[in-house]
Amino acid sequence: MSELLLLSGGIDSIAIAAWLRPAQCLTIDYGQRPAAAEVDAASEVCRRLGLFHDVIRVPINELGSGALAGKPVSEFSSHEEFWPFRNQFLLTLGAMYAMPRSLNAVLIGTVQNDSRHADGSPVFLNQIADLVAQQEGGIAIVAPAIHLDTVELVKVSNVDPSLLGWAHSCHTSHVACGRCPGCNKHSEVMRVLGWEL
């Protein structure tokens, strides 16, 4: 199977890149505030792993909400990083990118804890996998870490700690704010792994 990985440059997708070494990695700048830092992190990780990396820009920040968009939190979620239909959008772009390049699977770095969002749940991922697979190209949507938490994923992946040092997790800025859910997760994972600076 020739796989495309949606690589955001966060801990989860970096660990999957190191673990599964996909044929192609893709970072999508959809207008999220930390896009530049995510692109830098993903580019450096791919350079170090010797993986092909590409970036596409499809800005939809006008349609975003919450911390990632620099807007008020959506009334439809209590989570400040919620962005409506984001995974549906990103997976669709991934499939659109994959098809003409003869890549037959799109990997997303969703982990167990992401099910706080409907589009991070196993039910959603199974349904969108069915939806995409029945269309031309028969592309598979795969979430290889859906049953793992981030610490388990890091351990399974055997990713080098120095590589995770490049991870960008902040939802609000190019520089880690230290306060958002992304930064909190990053700190907590590093603490549990004993990799704190």
- Residues at the interface with Zn ion (CB under 5 A): 170, 177, 180, 183
* Residues 86, 123: Cα–Cα separation, whole Å: 16
In the 8-state DSSP scheme, what is residue 106? Answer: E
Nearest alpha-carbon partner for 168 in 158, 151, 180, 152: 180
Complex with Zn ion: residue 17 or 170, whichever CB lies closer: 170
* Minimum distance of Zn ion from residue 71's CB (angstroms): 16
What type of residue is 84?
Answer: P
Q: How far apart are the first and last CA of the chain?
A: 38
* Minimum distance of Zn ion from residue 42's CB (angstroms): 17
What the block records as the tokens of 160 is 């080098």
Complex with Zn ion: residue 70 or 137, whichever CB lies closer: 70
Complex with Zn ion: residue 110 or 169, whichever CB lies closer: 169
* Residues 104, 140: Cα–Cα separation, whole Å: 6
* Minimum distance of Zn ion from residue 175's CB (angstroms): 9
* Minimum distance of Zn ion from residue 90's CB (angstroms): 20
Complex with Zn ion: residue 96 or 177, whichever CB lies closer: 177
* Residues 93, 1: Cα–Cα separation, whole Å: 19
